[in-house]
Every structure is written in C-alpha cells, then in structure tokens.
C-alpha cells in the first residue's frame, strides 16, 4: 500500500488558520469533542503535555514558598454576592446548581469560575495574628465559565488551571508577590515553552474584577493574534475589608490583610500549538514534549533491527523515549511523528547497524544528521538543547517582525487589517479612547509594558498628550 501522508488531513495555516488549528488538535489526538457542549476530552497526548507544564510550574512555585491546598468547587450564592465588582465581572459566565438529588437547594450554589470568595471565607477564620502571615497558597483544579463560543484549549466551559491566592501583612509585600509570580510565569514561558512574552500591566478597563491592579504576560501567535498567557493580580485590602480578614499586628492593632491571586491554564497548550506548529502538525519544545525521541526501526523484520532499536531506547533512558515498532511503513511513521510534534526521531536500519551509526532528524527544521551509535546520547542531548533555544529565538524573531508602530487611527487600522501583530502606540490614559479603538477596530489594549518606550508623544486616538505606551492587538 502506498504511504498516505497523514498531513493531507491538515488544512494549511495560510489557507485557514482556525481550521488548521482544529485539524492539528484533532489529528494529533490532543482532544476529542464530547456530548457536553463546549467541553472537551483531553486525550493522553494532550494531558501528558499538561502534566509536564504542571510539574515544572509546581516546582518553580514551591521554590518561592508556595504550598498547595484544595478548596470546594461550589460557592454559595450569598458568598459570591459579597464582592460587588467581582460578582458583576463573572455573573454572565456562572453555572448554577439548583438541586441536590430531587430536592431544590435552599441556596443556589455556583460552580467555581474562580475561588477568591472561597479563599477569603477560609482566610478570615485561618488568619488571626501577624505570625500567621504570609499565606502563600495555590490550588490545581478545574473551573467552569459558561462561554458562548468555545475552541479547544483556548476557551472551553470547563478548563484546568492553577490559581494562587496569597495573604500578606503589607501592601508592599503583596505587590512584591504579584510581580514575582508574573516574572515566574514569563520565565517559564520563555525557558520551558520557548514562547517569548511581553510583561506589563493591564489598563483599568481590562483588569480583573475586584483587583487594584492586574499584570499580564502577552504572547503573539503565528497568525498575528495576541494571547493572554498568564495573569497576576494585586487585590490590595479590598476583599479583606469585604470579608473581614483581619490580624493582630506587632503593635497589637487589628489590621486588614493584603491579597494577591495569579493563574495559568490549559490554554497554554493552545499557545504552544499556535506559536510553534506548522503545516505538518505540532512542533513541541523538548521540555514539554511527552516523547522527546522516537526511534524508528527501518526494515524491522530483518534480524537484529528491533533488538538494536530497543537497546538504543534503554541507553537513552535519561530522555523521554519510545520505539515505534508498529507494523506501519517507515514513511507513515515519519508523518505520524511529525504530526505529533516529537522533537527528534532516530532512524536505524540494517545498513546503519553495519556502519555503526544512525540518523537523527529534527522536527523543527527537518535537518538530518548521521551520528555514530556510541555518541547517540551526547548528540541527542545537544540537539534537544539547541532546538529548545532556537525555537525561542525563532518565535521571538517572528514576534518582533510582527510588531509595528502606529501614530494615528489611520495607521492603527492599516496595521491591524494588513499586517496582523502587536501594535505599539501611545495613549492618553482615557478609557474613551480605549473604547473607541475597540469599537472601531475590534482591537484591545493588551498591556502597558514594564519596558516603556516613547514611540511618539500624542495619543493614537485623540491626539492629546500621551501618558503611556500600550501594546494593542486583536486577541483570542
């Protein structure tokens, strides 16, 4: 039977990026659709990526003193109603439980869209003295938001995430933790996901409901759309005053705590796909690839070929490695390995064995390298490291070449319509201008970057003196 290339099933990204994305998540078997509208099955190939994200993020959290906890998934309506701004921000997306078995509940329960109110309720009984502070907690869980339009990983009604919730004695400590976690997220995206991000602060309009300030990391996808990839919020003492979270300080006076919260979700998997993927499918950065090396035996029915492949697998035990010993043809196996984004494949056949060598092929560049069998471990390690580094460099170069400057509304529209990407433009800090840009161009302020550079002195919208440089863009 002639090899039927698996990638025929993938729409090219130039033709239809949204369809390309859907094809990749389906064909690479990351997800499946379900009879629960707006919810997905995360299949083993997809969940294994999440496990690697979770493991490496969790290690970084714990290195900064974070402890994991778990709180209920239900929130009584009266508790949710306590923080006015917060409840208004989430009201349209909340799912409600109205019955327990056959009996109507005395009070509706909401399925958590986020857990601020539960943490506040818990902290008010758990914190009494300055000696109890800081509390630096995180939970790994799922949340539910009744989204109208869903797309695998990027937006689903139930998704997996972590949410950190901390309480501190002073505003300075809370702000320090807020920024610390944002930087931790940014470093993680760049070092592990090979995904460059812009670090900055959200405008008042775009900040989290109930927060004093929200900080964000923004990434640029291959199609020029932005993706918010992690947020960190400083709540000040607003929630503490609403929920009565007080502690006796060293001077024996009662004071309110200052709180933060920060989160990252399974949408990171969507980001990896859209930053690194190509027309053959997924391209996974080695540090989050469930299988880093796939060994493909050539003419595997010939004596000794499979045994050699298994021996190589055992030797490469310090990596995540598999042998494809299925009865499919080598061509089919190559296509499948490409589709699934496995960073490197090792080809070994009778001729290679005779010559004491094998062929290593890189998924990201397609580059092939002949390597002596006794140098395989060293070479494989070097290639994976180089690949991780070069994937970040390529993604950064793509982002930088798709970042433009606009001085007025005509330029802003031209860039957004004809050169998709980030737009750096000055802003007067007036929400009316932000609203006008969103209404006219369906673009939002992504963030006010920490690295402020002056790209003009007038607001891109109204022409009045500018106060901030803002990254604008159309986003997922």
- The per-residue pLDDT for range 326-349, each reduced to its tens digit, is 999 999 999 999 999 999 999 999
Look at residue 3 and tell me whether its pLDDT is greater than 50. Answer: no
Averaged pLDDT for residues 91-119: 95
User: Any idea where the domains of the chain sit in the sequence?
Assistant: 16-276, 291-385, 403-473
CA–CA distance, 202 with 211 (Å, rounded to integer): 11
Look at residue 61 and tell me whether its pLDDT is greater than 60. Answer: yes
**How far are the Cα atoms of 188, 272, 288, 375 from residue 53, in angstroms, in the given order?**
9, 11, 7, 30
CA–CA distance, 173 with 168 (Å, rounded to integer): 6
> Which residue blocks in 340-375 are alpha helix, DSSP H?
350-355
Q: Quick one: which of 109, 50, 122 has its CA closest to 80?
A: 109
Structure tokens at 263: 């989160």
Q: What is the mean pLDDT of the chain?
A: 96
Structure tokens at 303: 């004596």
How is domain 16-276 classified at the architecture level of CATH? 2-Layer Sandwich (3.30)
Give φ, ψ of 415 to 5 degrees: -65, -50
Q: SS3 of 134, please?
A: coil
Look at residue 89 and tell me whether its pLDDT is greater than 90. Answer: no
Averaged pLDDT for residues 266-288: 98
CATH of domain 403-473: 3.30.110.30
| Beta-carbon-side half-sphere exposure of residue 192 (alpha carbons within 13 Å) | 22
Query: In angstroms, what is the C-alpha Rg of the chain?
Result: 25
Superfamily (CATH H level) for 291-385: Anticodon-binding domain (3.40.50.800)
CA–CA distance, 404 with 410 (Å, rounded to integer): 13
Q: Quick one: which of 318, 387, 315 has its CA closest to 348?
A: 315
Contact 220, 422 (CB under 8 A): yes
Measured over the CA atoms of residue 30, residue 33, residue 34 and residue 36, the dihedral's sign is positive
pTM of the model: 0.95
């Amino acid at each position: 039977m002639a090899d039927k290339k698996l990638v025929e099933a993938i729409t090219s990204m130039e033709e239809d990026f949204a369809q390309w994305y859907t094809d990749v998540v389906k064909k690479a078997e990351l997800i499946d659709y379900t009879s629960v509208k707006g919810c997905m099955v995360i299949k083993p190939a997809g969940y294994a990526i999440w496990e690697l994200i979770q493991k490496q993020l969790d290690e970084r959290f714990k290195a900064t003193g974070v402890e994991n906890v778990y709180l209920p998934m239900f929130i009584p309506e009266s508790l949710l109603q306590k923080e006015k701004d917060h409840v208004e921000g989430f009201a349209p997306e909340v799912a409600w439980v109205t019955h327990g078995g056959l009996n109507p509940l005395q009070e509706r329960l909401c399925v958590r869209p986020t857990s601020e109110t539960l943490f506040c309720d818990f902290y008010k009984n758990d914190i009494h003295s300055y000696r109890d502070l800081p509390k630096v907690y995180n939970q790994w869980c799922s949340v539910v938001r009744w989204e109208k339009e869903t797309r695998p990983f990027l937006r689903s009604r139930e998704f997996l995430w972590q949410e950190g919730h901390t309480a501190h004695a002073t505003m300075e400590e809370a702000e320090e933790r807020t920024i610390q976690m944002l930087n931790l997220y940014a470093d993680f995206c760049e070092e592990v996901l090979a995904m460059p991000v812009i670090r900055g602060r959200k405008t008042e309009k775009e900040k989290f409901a109930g927060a004093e300030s929200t900080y964000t990391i923004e990434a640029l996808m291959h199609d020029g759309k932005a993706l918010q990839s992690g947020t960190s919020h400083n709540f000040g003492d607003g929630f503490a005053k609403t929920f009565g979270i007080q502690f006796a300080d060293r001077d024996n006076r009662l004071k309110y705590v200052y709180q933060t919260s920060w989160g990252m979700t399974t949408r990171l998997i969507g980001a990896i796909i859209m930053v690194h993927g190509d027309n053959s499918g997924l391209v996974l950065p080695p540090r989050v690839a469930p299988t880093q090396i796939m060994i493909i035996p050539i003419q595997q029915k010939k004596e000794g070929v499979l045994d050699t492949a298994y021996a190589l697998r055992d030797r490469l035990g310090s990596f995540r490695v598999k042998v494809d010993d299925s009865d499919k043809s080598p061509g089919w196996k190559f296509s499948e390995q490409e589709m699934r984004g496995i960073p490197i494949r090792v080809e070994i056949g009778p001729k290679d064995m005779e010559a004491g060598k094998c062929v290593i092929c890189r998924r990201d560049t397609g580059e092939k390298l002949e390597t002596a069998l006794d140098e395989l471990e060293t070479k494989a390690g070097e290639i994976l490291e180089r690949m991780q580094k070069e994937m970040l460099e390529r993604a950064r170069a793509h982002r930088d070449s798709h970042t433009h400057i606009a001085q007025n509304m005509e330029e802003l529209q031209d860039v957004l319509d004809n050169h998709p990407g980030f737009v750096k433009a000055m802003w007067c800090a007036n929400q009316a201008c932000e609203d006008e840009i969103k209404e006219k161009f369906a673009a939002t302020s992504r963030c006010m970057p920490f690295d402020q550079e002056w790209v003009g002195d007038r607001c891109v919208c109204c022409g009045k003196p500018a106060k901030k440089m803002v990254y604008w863009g159309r986003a997922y």
